[in-house]
Amino acid sequence: MTSEQRAGGDNHVVLFAKRPGENNSATVDCFAVIPVESPTASDVGVDQCLIRTLFLSVDPAQRCRMNASTGVDYLGPYVIGEPVDGMEGVGIVEIAGSSCSLQVGDIVTSCAHLWTWTKFFVADCSDLVKVNLPPGFSPSVILSAVGLSGMTALLGIQKRARIDRNKPQTIVVSGAAGSCGSLAGQIARIEGCSKVIGICGSEAKCRVLREELGFDSAINYRAEPIGERLRVLAPEGVDIYWDNVGGFISDAVIQQMNENGRVVLCGQIAVYNTDLPYPPPIPHETAEMIQRRNIIRERFLVLTYKNEMDEAVEQLSRWLQENKIKIKETIYDGLSAAPQAFIDMMSGKNIGKMLIHEKSKGERSKQLSTVVYETTKYLKNTPALVQTKESIHQLIPKLKPFKLTSAELLQIINLRPSAPTDIQLLVEETEERFPLETELEELVNVITECLPTPPKTIE
């Protein structure tokens, strides 16, 4: 296949369709995902290359860009009808111009440039950085471990937390099960904190913090009184507070802080759906506590440390390979899921970094063929079943959202699972080969729901 043909098909872009209103949550219709022409080899200048997006980063700062005024000077507002660009992305070079230092097949990221939410695009080589991915790692770790979130966590701890290794130090992290928070807690431990407590929005997240990420304890702010829990979990008081959220959570934590404590003011997501300035004003009692206890509360912005980013990436990459930091990712499949991924990240459905994975057509059909192959293999060993016309009529419209090709559809409707447990078994058996399970599971659920139950076998 020539480059002209390859880049010419199947491109989409996410447009910014409407502002949510400064004091509202964003909704999926704030975005529109539309098909667009792909660039071809003739669009690529000598010092440019054609990139296919692999992963896109989904970030809270994008909510601020949805307002006419972002509230900060380093980010401009989205323009209605124009493409959405995200904070970061990872892609692969499909075509390289003759003077471009990159080569076809190189994995690249955007080195503090925004990344348009589209599949194929042309970029100047100077705006991209080649990534040497350690063996066995997915390109997604560029965003979830060593990208802006990782750098924010590392530099924030190093520059603002002032951990005193000679004393026991207790840190509390809010937004702890998210991308920056999950790393900030782990890095604080490496850098010398003796107690790490996370605050997050569900029991499942609390379990991940305690059982997988090495936090000493976790508080579910939706179900537990923060101040009361902190008095039990940290009777010695809180020395450092990593503040991702602001609002009532931060007010409660600051009340438990020790003399000369430090607040790392990383973000205030609790007020991003409002028109409050950044950082937002804090209640009188909180301000008074900060003053009385001589607490340092400093705003932190990772972009201030551009000169130290290379070193930070090296450090994070070493820790990742030495298994000293663990990464969690929540991955949505394809640009069409991008609006929902953003809404879901803002409402806390992510654990770790929220990402969009743009799969190539080949990858997708390989995945589906494996489902079909495994199902067929399984069914060979199960009793034959009757598949009614009605069940297929029921099934076809339900499969529509999966945007299957006709060949894929035919393969799917020819599956004859005998019971939901058979399908479940199939998924379990093939799980290892399906890192992106959500789509597969959804597809399987739809199929399972519609197919008839098997006739009773005669003993």
Ligand X SMILES: NC(=O)c1ccc[n+]([C@@H]2O[C@H](COP(=O)([O-])OP(=O)(O)OC[C@H]3O[C@@H](n4cnc5c(N)ncnc54)[C@H](OP(=O)(O)O)[C@@H]3O)[C@@H](O)[C@H]2O)c1
Residues that bind ligand X (CB under 6 A): 59-61, 148-149, 152, 175, 177-181, 200-202, 205, 244-245, 247, 249, 266-270, 300-302, 345-346, 348, 350, 354
Residue with tokens 């604080």: 188
CB nearer to ligand X: give 139 or 247. 247
CB environment 90-109: b (16+ within 10 A), e (fewer) = bbbbbbbbeebebeeebbbb
Q: Among 271, 274, 251, 275, which residue's Cα sits nearest to residue 263?
A: 251
List 14's β-bridge partners, or say none.
33
Distance CA 232, CA 236 (A): 9
Distance CA 211, CA 133 (A): 28
Smallest gap from Cβ 433 to ligand X, in A, equals 27
CB 317 within 8 A of CB 146: yes
List 257's β-bridge partners, or say none.
238
- Half-sphere exposure in the Cβ direction for 45 (13 Å, CA): 7
Smallest gap from Cβ 165 to ligand X, in A, equals 24
Residue 360 burial (C-beta neighbours within 10 Å; 0-12, 13-18, 19+): middle
Smallest gap from Cβ 350 to ligand X, in A, equals 5
User: Which tokens hold the place of 168?
Assistant: 């026991």
Smallest gap from Cβ 193 to ligand X, in A, equals 19
Distance CA 308, CA 323 (A): 23
With vertex at residue 391, the alpha carbon angle to CA 385 and CA 395, rounded to the nearest 5 degrees, is 120
CB nearer to ligand X: give 47 or 251. 251
Smallest gap from Cβ 245 to ligand X, in A, equals 4
Smallest gap from Cβ 247 to ligand X, in A, equals 6
CB nearer to ligand X: give 144 or 418. 144
- Sheet containing 238-243: give its strands across: 217-220, 195-200, 170-174, 238-243, 257-265, 296-299
Smallest gap from Cβ 200 to ligand X, in A, equals 4
CB nearer to ligand X: give 247 or 420. 247
CB nearer to ligand X: give 159 or 398. 159
Smallest gap from Cβ 219 to ligand X, in A, equals 10
CB nearer to ligand X: give 350 or 430. 350
CB 256 within 8 A of CB 227: yes
